[in-house]
Structure 1
Amino acid sequence: MSFKIAIIGAGSVGFTKKLFTDILCVPEFADIEFALTDLSEHNLGMIKAILDRIVEANSLPTKVTATTDRRKALEGARYVISCVRVGGLEAYADDIRIPLKYGIDQCVGDTICAGGILYGQRNIPVILDFCKDIRELAEPGAKFLNYANPMAMNTWAAIEYGKVDTVGLCHGVQHGAEQIAEVLGAKSHSELDYVCSGINHQTWFIDLRLNGRRIGKDELIAAFEAHPVYSQQEKLRIDVLKRFGVYSTESNGHLSEYLPWYRKRPDEITRWIDMSDWIHGETGGYLRYSTETRNWFETEYPQFLEAASKPLDASKRSNEHASHILEALETNRVYRGHFNVKNSGIITNLPQDAIIESPGFVDRFGINMTSGITLPEACAATCISSINVQRMSVHAAISGDIDLLKLAVLHDPLVGAVSTPEEVWQMVDEMVVAQARWLPQYADAVPEAKERLSKSKVKTRDWAGAARRNVRSIEELRAEKTALKQAG
């Protein structure tokens, strides 16, 4: 079969390579076309060279094109995949740096909280541009697969305002299931059957069965507390499991910034996080990791290109949803996964307009969600708090209403636990001014925001956060990788 896949933000080199190799693990897909597009010609050149090397090494008829002209890439595409980060690491640094001045300590800052909300403001106008191009240029009925964060806000905007057939995709559920299978002593992940439901990055394992036997709260707590690694790395997550009765999909660091209880006092933060890796709660951890990864890739690019000459191995196909969804839609091989879509009755005790993440099955008829799921009350309450923030954030991004944006940030659980209304109002002004070039919808609001900042008497602090680490040099990264090889 032959069809076209457009990847927007293909300059995310490592992730694009993973999606590409996953898709080519489907035998029927050898003759398809990949159209790569990105703002960066430099990154496009690197990823195209890698993908061309893979095609050549495996003697495939696959076609790969690359262009900075997004509309050209979208012409005739049946599937469009987005993995963009609007504003790049420069804007992302402000998402972490500015809230710290007001006492808000984030680990990732890409979903909700101050950083995630501003990230959404940058992304949503661009997402709507993508949708317009898809409607005008792509194959009729083209499907938009959104991998970009903030997942719920981006998907909400694409469905509600972009009017494009959209599904949001994330790997948090798979990673959480892998942990659970490990602590329960499963010989393989296939022994664990589970139902996970909620909203992206706040999804809950509400039904767990190991070889058909239901796993209860007490058994799961005991298994995590006995694990030599997870008992230390996932302290906050285990505490939520004890109190809510169900395990969250999200990492210790991610989960910590969606709740109002664990990161509101600097002296409490270090009690709940673990510094063995960024994902367990380090201040600005993902920003540091992303910066190091970019620097490492730029330096070690020849090695990445060399590795692309290896034969494809279908056994190493990842659990990212995209390739499995495309395979199901095109070949009718049924795939079960967890997908981000508009609620519309899927979860009974969450708002109908919300973007939820829940189980579904894919075949040639499309993505078919399992309806009638009811979350435990505490899980629903936590999700609803975030949904209310997401809804206001999307509406603010569409309208350019800076007052609504401030109200969205004010209602964020962690922001509300840390900052006063006066601090929130000034912080949002400061973030909008700093990121004005990526926020066209707020152009009229920027002059007044600057004027307010010039007269403000709200005090800020010069604070790096409770658990910040410096970006490591290439030499430090190389020495660490060498040490790990020698130890392993």
Structure 2
Amino acid sequence: MSFKIAIIGAGSVGFTKKLFTDILCVPEFKDIEFALTDVSEHNLGMIKAILDRIVEANNLPTKVTATTNRRKALEGARYIISCVRVGGLEAYADDIRIPLKYGIDQCVGDTICAGGILYGQRNIPVILDFCKDISEVAETGAKFLNYANPMAMNTWAAIEYGKVDTVGLCHGVQHGAEQIAEVLGAKSPGELDYVCSGINHQTWFIELRLNGRPIGKDELVAAFEAHPVYSKQEKLRIDVLKRFGVYSTESNGHLSEYLPWYRKRPDEITRWIDMSDWIHGETGGYLRYSTETRNWFETEYPQFLEAASKPIDPARRSNEHASHILEALETNRVYRGHFNVKNNGVIANLPQDAIIESPGFVDRFGINMAAGITLPEACAATCMASINVQRMSVHAAIAGDIDLLKLAVLHDPLVGAVSTPEEVWQMVDEMVVAQAAWLPQYADAVPAAKERLSKSKVKTREWAGAARRSVRSIEELRAEKAALKQAG
């Protein structure tokens, strides 16, 4: 087989390497071409060198090209994979910093909440540019695989406004299933069968079977509470499981910021989170982790390059969906996964236009979703709150409507639990002004926002958050890794 895959945002070096090696685990794919593109020549050069080393070490005919000219990279591509972060860590820092001034404490801030909504405003114009190029220069019928957050908003814009065949991909379902299998004592994750459905980052394990035996709420609660690690790290998720009757795919920290109940007061935040790792609820945890990862990679790059000389091991192929989808589409080997697509009746009690995440099967005929799913009412209600925010956010991003953007932020569950309308209005003005370089659709709104900010009497505070940690130095990271290696 010979076809072309374009990866936009290929400067996300670690993730691009994972996708690349996963895809080359499929024997039929050795003759394909990878076209890498990114706005950063520096990062593009690093990932190109790594992938070239992999090709050389494995004696493959695979072609790898790299260019900052996105349109050139997309020419003739059959599959386009996006893992972009528009605005980089600079804009992301404002997604966390500015809401903290108004009392909004986020762990991740990349899906909804104030940070996720502004992240969507930055991404959507760029996503539509991708779609335009795909329509004009990619292979006819090309498929767009979006890994970038905010997943639902990006995918919604690409399908509804970009008019490109798009599927959103995430790994939250797989990680949640691995946890459940572990607490239930399964010998391998494959012993667990499940139906998981909802929206991205709010998917719910609505049916569980271990080796064919149904698993109920009480057994699952008891298993999590007995686990020596998860009982401490996933306190909030376990509480939601007790109240809703089903387990959520999302990490303790992620889930905490999609709900109005657990991060509304500083004392409540510290009660429900765990500080053993960023993903369990730390203030700005993912921003810290991303910053440390970038710094670590820049410093330790020679080691990453050396590691690329190792042979590809198909047994270590990851459970990221992309390679499995491509394999199913090209070889007709059927793959079951969980995909972000327009609802269109798949989940009966969610809106038709929503982007849902639900089970589907892939073969040569495409992605075929399993329809007729009904979520438990509490799960549907929680998803609906986010869907309404997502819809307004997408429409605001398309129109450059700052008033609709403010309404979207106002209706966010956590923002609404913490902030007044006056605070929300000023916060959005402040975020739009700070991020104006990445928000071309709001250019006409920026002068008036600046004027309002100059006259505002809404009080703010300088607050690091309820559970903030400083970015660790390279020396601290090395010492921690050495200690873990010695202990393990």
Range of TM-score over shorter length: over 0.9
**Cα shift at 1:360:** 0.0
Q: In 2, Cα distance between the equivalents of 1:50 and 1:268?
A: 45
Gaps of 5+ in 2: none
Aligned counterpart, 2:33: 33
**Cα shift at 1:391:** 0.1
**Cα shift at 1:453:** 0.0
Aligned counterpart, 1:387: 387
**Cα shift at 1:197:** 0.2
Aligned counterpart, 1:372: 372
Which digits, 9 at most, give the CA deviation of each residue in 1:314-362, with x for residues without a partner? 0000000000000000000000000000000000000000000000000
**Cα shift at 1:297:** 0.1
Aligned counterpart, 1:66: 66
Q: In 2, Cα distance between the equivalents of 1:42 and 1:342?
A: 36
TM-score by length of 2: 1.00
**Cα shift at 1:468:** 0.1
Q: In 1, Cα distance between the equivalents of 2:171 and 2:83?
A: 13
Q: In 2, Cα distance between the equivalents of 1:116 and 1:13?
A: 23
Q: In 2, Cα distance between the equivalents of 1:245 and 1:128?
A: 39
**Cα shift at 1:182:** 0.1
Number of matched pairs: 488
TM-score by length of 1: 1.00
**Cα shift at 1:370:** 0.3
Instruction: Report the 3-state secondary structure (helix = DSSP H, G, I; strand = E; otherwise coil) of the residue aligned with 1:426.
Output: helix
Give the 4+ runs in structure 1 shifted more than 3 A. none
Q: In 1, Cα distance between the equivalents of 2:95 and 2:469?
A: 17
**Cα shift at 1:124:** 0.1
**Cα shift at 1:11:** 0.1
**Cα shift at 1:477:** 0.2
Q: In 1, Cα distance between the equivalents of 2:46 and 2:270?
A: 39
Aligned counterpart, 1:158: 158
Q: In 1, Cα distance between the equivalents of 2:458 and 2:215?
A: 51
**Cα shift at 1:287:** 0.0
**Cα shift at 1:456:** 0.1
Gaps of 5+ in 1: none
Which digits, 9 at most, give the CA deviation of each residue in 1:105-137, with x for residues without a partner? 000000000000000000000000000000000
**Cα shift at 1:383:** 0.0
Which digits, 9 at most, give the CA deviation of each residue in 1:132-177, with x for residues without a partner? 0000000000000000000000000000000000000000000000
Q: In 2, Cα distance between the equivalents of 1:322 and 1:374?
A: 27
Aligned counterpart, 1:115: 115
Structure 1 segment 86-235 matched on structure 2, within 5 A: 86-235=86-235
Instruction: Report the 3-state secondary structure (helix = DSSP H, G, I; strand = E; otherwise coil) of the residue aligned with 1:444.
Output: helix
Which digits, 9 at most, give the CA deviation of each residue in 1:182-227, with x for residues without a partner? 0000001110000000000000000000000000000000000000
**Cα shift at 1:417:** 0.2
**Cα shift at 1:180:** 0.1
Which digits, 9 at most, give the CA deviation of each residue in 1:277-331, with x for residues without a partner? 0000000000000000000000000000000000000000000000000000000
Which digits, 9 at most, give the CA deviation of each residue in 1:253-277, with x for residues without a partner? 0000000000000111000000000
Q: In 2, Cα distance between the equivalents of 1:447 and 1:92?
A: 22
Q: In 2, Cα distance between the equivalents of 1:355 and 1:448?
A: 33
Which digits, 9 at most, give the CA deviation of each residue in 1:42-68, with x for residues without a partner? 000000000000000000000000000
**Cα shift at 1:19:** 0.1
Aligned counterpart, 2:323: 323
Instruction: Report the 3-state secondary structure (helix = DSSP H, G, I; strand = E; otherwise coil) of the residue aligned with 1:124.
Output: helix
**Cα shift at 1:463:** 0.2
Which digits, 9 at most, give the CA deviation of each residue in 1:394-425, with x for residues without a partner? 00000000000000000000000000000000
Q: In 2, Cα distance between the equivalents of 1:83 and 1:478?
A: 28
Q: In 2, Cα distance between the equivalents of 1:460 and 1:337?
A: 45
**Cα shift at 1:373:** 0.1
**Cα shift at 1:84:** 0.1
Instruction: Report the 3-state secondary structure (helix = DSSP H, G, I; strand = E; otherwise coil) of the residue aligned with 2:80.
Output: strand
Q: In 2, Cα distance between the equivalents of 1:187 and 1:401?
A: 52
